Amino acid sequence: DPIPALGMIQEHSRRILDRFKLPFMVGGEHLVSLGLAKAVYERFPNMHIIQFDAHADLRDDYLGVKYSHACVMRRCHDFLGDNRIHQFCIRSGERSEFEFASQHTKMHKFNFNGIEEMAKALAISGTPVYLTVDLDCLDSAVLPGTGTPEAGGVSFNDLLRAILILKDNKVNIVAADVNELSPMLDQSGASTALTCKLMREMLLALSTLRG
């Protein structure tokens, strides 16, 4: 039952936000984002989510379960509403997920096309943003150490450039996470090393944004 774990994440995230700090979470299954997103929404009800991911994560349920990594953005949409989830690199999903996205989210398939325009619009409005990075947005040849790898993804440099675009446009990022690393699936250690470098670059970018 993931509900108690999500509640613990939400409560701990509240304490971080109460201290006017920026929560930065490391997962695990992508469902962990739901706990943090709910805490951020309590503080910033006009928040948007930027999602970097191979998968849409918009199923209403997965094998009969509504709280799953395959459903996390659908559960976020339940409280956020339409056009407040910006999805990039998506290249896998059921037909129903893409149909849902066409009406309710802002999906950019396969890569980061459109990210600069989105970043400028969010920055101008000052909208609070939660950035969630599912590592399987990267090509599986770049990062094989993840639970549901998908060929045809972006490179590390593509991902880093996207993060720097958010920084350079001064997007108001109020929370972030990196998730879906599974070190045991990459015995070389390369996936873990890449993730550590990505986290370092993200933290540097976020510290610049927060002065």
Q: Which of 38, 33, 39 is nearest to 15 (CA)?
A: 39
Question: Can you tell me whether residue 156 is helix, strand or coil?
Answer: helix
In eight-state DSSP terms, residue 137 is G
Yes or no: say if 91 and 54 are a contact pair by the CB < 8 Å rule: yes
pLDDT of residue 19: 96
The amino acid present at 190, given as its one-letter code, is A
Instruction: For 35-75, write each residue's pLDDT tens digit.
Output: 999 999 999 999 999 999 999 999 999 999 999 999 999 99
Question: Are 140 and 153 a contacting pair, CB within 8 Å?
Answer: yes
